Structure 1
């Protein structure tokens, strides 16, 4: 064991957490419960601090910024939505100047190349970086039954394992000493995930069209192929693959497309064929292209329903992408309707080629997680806000691609750090 690891083992470590999305929040809550048993408390920060109210109730302490969190913590966990968010966040850590001896543990799904680059940068600051991506969704995160793959220096891995085993995860898979080895395993696991969702989708559409029925099919899927496959089936039959426009999907379709893109890009580089992943990715993209960002990763089910002559939406999902059909819009005040109309008109006048789904999202404040800052939102009139949203979105669409991804706009997809 290194001197740093020995020193850490000899004292109680201060643990910090950033990222309270659908996955990060239950993970952080389970970690806080574990720490409380040892007379410790978690320090947390998040893009939207109100998401941490339940953590405060459990005894955790808020930090005013990520920089403050880093300064006060020995071990820093992050759970964010993509590579760029992670790199931007870590830049704030570098700006605190003194990172000596700290351990950064990232639980996000990012490209292995990003993990490698971040590891090299953090090492320059005399800190340690571990990649610890998760397998499992929010329903499994709540009871602490995730599976984690962790890669990095063995001494640091041993220091953080107690925070995972039987706290956040039921199983810890230790990978190589290079953190990117865990990121690569996560990419490989996502190949199985998207293909399993595609297979379950195909089986459920087949069951509906042949008269078997979704109920018996779901029983077979769950009992014959396990609770993970059964959970995917439940996302479809419950309608959660296409939730109401004011609801956050369990795992946003654009995040799943990002993961599939990473797998396909790496496979092409290595000369590996992934035909089933290509089909699943095509079906997810088709769903997003037609129905927007407020979709779960299981939305390929809707695409397959449509290809079989059924409605994209089933009887449990939302029934339309029309704002007028939004469940909270049954009794829209005339003034509110007028404001929404102004926003939509502004969007279309600014950029005639704007996709219909984005124009619709502009007029729904809650699911359209705007890329415009909250400060700008507070000061801009409604029409100008809509123009600003569209202008920035279209600029990003026409910009370059991030690692492993084509240039896409993901305005409504849930961010892990919200």
Structure 2
């Protein structure tokens, strides 16, 4: 049985030809659609625009018109032309990929499964149909939202029935990674789509990992974020335990980070102020990965586990902690490492 790694390797072998075909004639205007300018999408759209050429066009839509205007005000002086549009359908207008060899895409970065369903229902209703899609002209859509695999597969089936191609490409790296253009994208798609999708995503990130067929990218993302949710609580509890016994938090963090307890929340996003200068804990837990987003991702992971029949022994306790902490006035709207404060940690 061919693994996802071998599939990606084969896809990459074909990449030089795909990249040559990406160089279109000077008279052709490449087109991109971008839907969703939340904290992640806003920064991703900026990176995409700045790394394209003035012959490219990006149609941008968000329900928040102020976010669109703010984006236009912060765009690089060079890069693609950006057009603000008033509907989802306009953002997706004329977005096609010819044999996965041209550069016309629609990227979506949306908050919840219901939004993904609604947006793609509108796109399909606006004219994406088998009548307009031929073997050499297939619309391609890259969804970077974090949703459940089942919803993604349902949307993908709807898009495929209408004659398009749908790729799930959730990302890891948070707002910091989105701003710096260092995101990791986890793909769920046929290996044949990778040569078309990877160059697009590399404008916004640093790594593209093929995880398997449709839904596999989201399964990987939710598994990763479930582990992150647990590690974050464990790091906060461990730091609180040591500090309460009089340990200097920097000394304790150093011990953990050269020992078996080392993890991303202990090393990079340490929850104790003063330990890691760049961590949100040093900014009153501002910025970073919001606790409400972690609560959402944990909920999705639990739903996916229940559907797959995978037992999560720590899920209920973690979910209760994030839900109550997210409602606490001292923690609301802050980075998810603020659970250290919720647990009564010394600051």
- TM bucket (normalised to shorter chain) is 0.7 to 0.9
Query: Which residue among 55, 60, 81 is the counterpart of 2:111?
Result: 81
**1:144 match:** 181
- Quote the Cα distance in structure 2 between the aligned partners of 1:223 and 1:29: 37
Cα deviations by residue, 1:72-93 (Å, 9 ceiling, x for unpaired): 4331000011101111111221
Q: Do 1:35 and 1:42's aligned partners in 2 also have CA atoms closer than 8 Å?
A: no
The runs of 5 or more residues in structure 2 that have no matched partner are 1-13, 96-103, 272-278
The Cα of 1:223 is off from its aligned counterpart by: 7.5
**2:163 match:** 126
Q: Do 1:151 and 1:180's aligned partners in 2 also have CA atoms closer than 8 Å?
A: yes
- Quote the Cα distance in structure 2 between the aligned partners of 1:119 and 1:214: 48
The Cα of 1:7 is off from its aligned counterpart by: 12
The Cα of 1:265 is off from its aligned counterpart by: 2.9
**2:274 match:** none
Matched, 1:236 2:274: no
The Cα of 1:220 is off from its aligned counterpart by: 5.8
The Cα of 1:120 is off from its aligned counterpart by: 0.7
- Quote the Cα distance in structure 2 between the aligned partners of 1:45 and 1:223: 46
Matched, 1:283 2:321: yes
TM-score by length of 1: 0.63
**1:161 match:** 198
**2:38 match:** 21
- Quote the Cα distance in structure 1 between the aligned partners of 2:255 and 2:59: 44
Query: Which residue among 231, 252, 266 is the counterpart of 1:196?
Result: 231
Structure (1 or 2) with the greater helix fraction:
1
- Quote the Cα distance in structure 2 between the aligned partners of 1:231 and 1:270: 31
Q: Is the alpha carbon distance of 1:152 and 1:192 closer, same or farther for their aligned partners in structure 2, counting shifts above 3 Å?
A: same
**1:117 match:** 154
**2:127 match:** 97
Instruction: Report the 3-state secondary structure (helix = DSSP H, G, I; strand = E; otherwise coil) of the residue aligned with 2:322.
Output: helix
Query: Which residue among 281, 293, 297 is the counterpart of 1:255?
Result: 293
Q: Do 2:290 and 2:335's aligned partners in 1 also have CA atoms closer than 8 Å?
A: yes
The Cα of 1:226 is off from its aligned counterpart by: 6.6
How many aligned residue pairs are there?
295
The Cα of 1:206 is off from its aligned counterpart by: 2.2
Cα deviations by residue, 1:230-259 (Å, 9 ceiling, x for unpaired): 22532335321xx5xxxxx64333332222
Q: CA RMSD in A?
A: 2.9
- Quote the Cα distance in structure 1 between the aligned partners of 2:241 and 2:173: 26
- Quote the Cα distance in structure 1 between the aligned partners of 2:139 and 2:116: 17
Q: Do 1:144 and 1:168's aligned partners in 2 also have CA atoms closer than 8 Å?
A: yes
Q: Is the alpha carbon distance of 1:277 and 1:203 closer, same or farther for their aligned partners in structure 2, counting shifts above 3 Å?
A: same
Matched, 1:61 2:116: no
Query: Which residue among 299, 303, 307 is the counterpart of 1:265?
Result: 303
The runs of 5 or more residues in structure 1 that have no matched partner are 244-248, 316-418
Cα deviations by residue, 1:336-356 (Å, 9 ceiling, x for unpaired): xxxxxxxxxxxxxxxxxxxxx
Matched, 1:33 2:69: no
The Cα of 1:169 is off from its aligned counterpart by: 1.6
Q: Do 1:32 and 1:60's aligned partners in 2 also have CA atoms closer than 8 Å?
A: yes
The Cα of 1:287 is off from its aligned counterpart by: 1.1
TM-score by length of 2: 0.75
- Quote the Cα distance in structure 1 between the aligned partners of 2:116 and 2:319: 24
The Cα of 1:227 is off from its aligned counterpart by: 6.1
